[in-house]
A and B are shown apart, each in its own frame.
Chain A
Amino acid sequence: MFARIWGTRGSYPVARADVLRYGGNTTCVEVRAENRCIILDAGTGMRMLGEALMREPGAPRQLDLLITHTHWDHIIGFPFFAPIYAAGWRLNIYGLSRTQASLRATIASALGDPLFPVGLEDLRAEVHVHEIHVGSAFELGPVRVRTAQANHPYRALAYRLESDAETLVFVPDTGPFHTLLFGDERIEWTGAPGAGNGAETRALAEMRARVIELAQGADWLLYDAQFTDEEYARFPHWGHGTASQAREIAEAAGARELLLFHHDPRRSDAELDAIVAAQRAAARPGLAVSAAAEGRLLSKGGPQ
């Protein structure tokens, strides 16, 4: 199993000169194992992945798209993914089941008028939508998939993808486990983290433990690090975390490499370099720290 990063940015895509190294496209990661191609999130990075797949001789024609949640930055690449307009491709979409609306309806309303001119029924690829749950576990060819819940408004999934030799864990959007963010009601930002009642404290501790368990021994842990600690104290965080919180989770999980992910759209490459340097200095021995960069290949050196 190996992976390639196609989009690292959070919130919205950016196209400035100061983000060229880490990239301006929103979240998308491709995972390959044998003849499977598994795509994590459908941010704008998915457009470039689609072009690459169309060019690749013998590319897998069956694709699996695992969606963490349907916030805009995680789905806006979908209608620009060329294989969906080509015959002979089959795409299985997996995402969180909700009582309020089906995943298919959520995707269809995002893509259709008056927000965009694409109807799911217009696609030439065969598209199937599968609703999954917190704690779902299933196999996609040689890859074992498991999910846990991230602490993100209106709930989001985190994914673990594991082959016999490698493990990648994807937690692109999560706040720290100070305040519950997963309710159907909006939780106002209070300016300082603080646990609520006892039930909330227990739920947060449980969620944190499950995320750490999900990330256990990961070769690559891609984890929300949108903010600096200083920003986190000053601004509404919208359900995102900081680099030091990401490092704490990586250390608790015994991950091999932490890739800071979901970069703030205003963050420059130089600022990310400094954040990485600070986390490297603080990291326990054995934990590698980097910031996810668009185009990077994650591989233990096996055949590709």
Chain B
Amino acid sequence: MKAQFWGVRGYVPTPGAAFLRYGGNTCCVSLHGAGGELVVLDSGTGFCELGATLMAGDFRDGRGELTMLITHTYWDHFLGLPFPGIVHVPGNHLRIYGPDSARGSLEMIYDNMLAPVYSPVFGLAHIAATHSFHPVPTEPFQVGQLTVRGMPLSRRAHSPIWAYRVEEAGRALVYITDARYTDDAIWREAVRFARDAEVLIHSAPYLRGEAVRDDGHSRVEDAIELALEAKVRRLYLYHHAPTRTDDDLDALVARCRGELAAGGQRLDLDAAREGEAVKV
């Protein structure tokens, strides 16, 4: 399985020279299985860049298929979905898994996002590619040879958040974003969910000491502690704050690696970088 980052930024895209190395697009990661499976984690603006590259193959000819795993429907994870040309080619098929909200099903949320007042598309009915929407199954399910598990991270009725674990031949990638470990139970569940993963991608926009107006995200230290406790091999800090320049992220990585080394920990840590491909 090959993972590739298409958008690593949280909250809002950050165009500009200071953000080019790590990238300014919002959340999106692709997973390519050995059997040709294509799974996409979240559809922030990174999905627009992924979509542009996919326009060269089957998706250009209306024979493309992908499975999308949506963690939640906030803009930085979902708003890129209607833009790439591939969703406007008849014949392409997007199988979209994600949480329903008390305000409506995932399909209704998307249809509302495309309502005339917000989008010239005028509603989901006018998107040419076939979209099927599915609540995340509580049991593991297959996408070709890939096994996918979902875990509810937050059950807030209006905006639930899920995490995903994708395995191929016993090697797992775990994707956790916008987590907030408010109690021991959710922490223990997350540790179990991430157990022995080759790769953990975890939102980590801020450090504990930083004074920011954000109570929706766990901190960098939480991501590291989770990775250590779950015995993850490699951790990617993800969902970078829009204020973090490339130099800031270099410094953050150096600091985290320094602390891990000083503590005698063997965790491989990096900051997710747009365009980087990772063999899982």
Contacts and interface: CB of A to CB of B under 8 A. Distances in A.
Contacts of B9: 15
B83 A12 contact: yes
B15 A76 contact: no
A14 B15 contact: yes
Contacts of A70: 117-118
Nearest to B76: A116
B46 to A, nearest CB: 9
Contacts of B103: 113-114
B263 interface: no
Interface in A114-139: 114-117
Contacts of B49: 16
B236 interface: no
A89 interface: no
Contacts of A109: 112
A44 B24 contact: no
Contacts of B23: 15
B45 A12 contact: yes
B88 interface: yes
A294 B17 CA distance: 13
A153 B116 CA distance: 8
Interface in B59-87: 72-75, 78-80, 83
B158 A114 contact: yes
Main secondary structure of the interface of B (DSSP, over half): loop
A70 B117 CA distance: 6
Nearest to A24: B15
Interface in B25-49: 25, 45, 48-49
Contacts of B213: 85
Contacts of A72: 79, 113, 118-119
Nearest to A98: B117
Contact of B122 (A114, A115, A116, A186): A186
Contact of B216 (A20, A47, A110, A117): A117
B11 A80 contact: yes
Interface string A21-46: 00111000000000000000000100
B13 A106 contact: no
Given A101-B117, A117-B74, A238-B120, A265 B83 contact: yes
Given A15-B45, A238-B120, A117 B159 contact: yes
Interface in A74-130: 76-77, 80, 85, 98, 100-101, 106, 109-110, 113-117
A19 B25 CA distance: 13
Contacts, number: 118
Contacts of A265: 48, 83
A71 B101 contact: no
A239 interface: yes
A266 B52 contact: yes
Interface string B1-25: 0000000010111111101100111
A154 B79 contact: no
Given A17-B20, A153-B122, A23 B88 contact: no
B143 interface: no
A61 B112 CA distance: 34
A164 interface: no
B278 interface: no
A184 interface: yes
B90 interface: no
Contact of A11 (B13, B83, B112, B117): B83
B251 interface: no
B192 interface: no
Contact of A13 (B13, B72, B74, B126): B13
A194 interface: no
Interface string A244-269: 00000000000000000000011000
A19 B15 contact: yes
Contact of B15 (A11, A13, A106, A153): A13
Contacts of A19: 15
Given A76-B75, A98-B117, 19 more contacts: A12-B45, A12-B79, A12-B80, A14-B45, A15-B23, A20-B17, A24-B13, A47-B242, A71-B120, A100-B117, A106-B117, A106-B118, A113-B156, A114-B101, A115-B73, A115-B79, A153-B120, A186-B116, A186-B126
Counting from the closest, the 7 A-B pairs by CB-CB distance are A15-B24, A24-B15, A113-B158, A186-B122, A114-B101, A154-B116, A13-B13
20 contacts: A11-B83, A13-B12, A13-B24, A15-B13, A15-B20, A15-B274, A16-B49, A72-B113, A80-B11, A80-B242, A85-B213, A101-B117, A114-B101, A114-B109, A115-B73, A115-B109, A117-B216, A186-B123, A238-B121, A266-B52
Interface of B: 9, 11-17, 19-20, 23-25, 45, 48-49, 52, 72-75, 78-80, 83, 88, 101, 103-104, 109, 112-113, 116-123, 126, 156, 158-159, 213, 216, 242, 274
